[in-house]
Amino acid sequence: MKTRIIFFSFIIFIISTSCVSNKHTEITHIRNIDSTHVASKLYEVYKIDSINNYYLIYLRKDSQKYKVVSKMEYVPFGKKIKLGTKYDFSLESLFDVDISINGINVNPAHTSLVECIYVDKMTYVCIERNDSIFDLFRAKNLTGLYIHKAF
């Protein structure tokens, strides 16, 4: 039992320090999901929450749910998103990174051992398996709560 606790602590430590030491890991290793959802690119915003300096935007498309992390920023352009409205988000996974320890993939999308990711030194965001959210995303065309054309 003590060995398992040390192992899990080690995994959390490795992931925490790797996310803190490289703030842009989630941007450099990403998976674009737009190509897998060709029929309709519209996602409905069903919940907006926040933690520290980040918005958590919950989206629904068909029967799938998505959790988008967006840094709180005001921009003078774009359109502010609203609950219950559908938008054409350009999503990228924050978890599309191969994280292996002793040959075991500990990427949160592949294992239940890790459920959160640090987005800055003090803020971590978690997936919500109990609500069918198994990945975290960022939207290329979202700044704060303002949607705009993707760059």
Statement: residue 21 has pLDDT above 50: no
pLDDT in tens, 64-100: 999 999 999 988 888 999 999 999 999 988 877 666 7
Residue showing tokens 């609203």 = 82
Tally of structural domains, the chain: 1
Mean pLDDT of the chain: 75
The neighbouring-strand residues paired with 124 are: 118
Contact between residue 61 and residue 74 where contact means Cβ atoms under 8 Å apart? no
Helix (H) or strand (E) holding 55: strand 54-61
Sorting pLDDT into bands at 50, 70 and 90, what band is 102?
confident
Model pTM above 0.85: no
**Domain assignment of residue 126, given as a range:** 2-147
Sorting pLDDT into bands at 50, 70 and 90, what band is 6?
very low
Cα separation of the two ends of the chain:
50
Statement: residue 118 has pLDDT above 90: no
- Residues of the chain above pLDDT 90, percent: 38
Contact between residue 58 and residue 46 where contact means Cβ atoms under 8 Å apart? yes
One-letter amino acid of 94: L
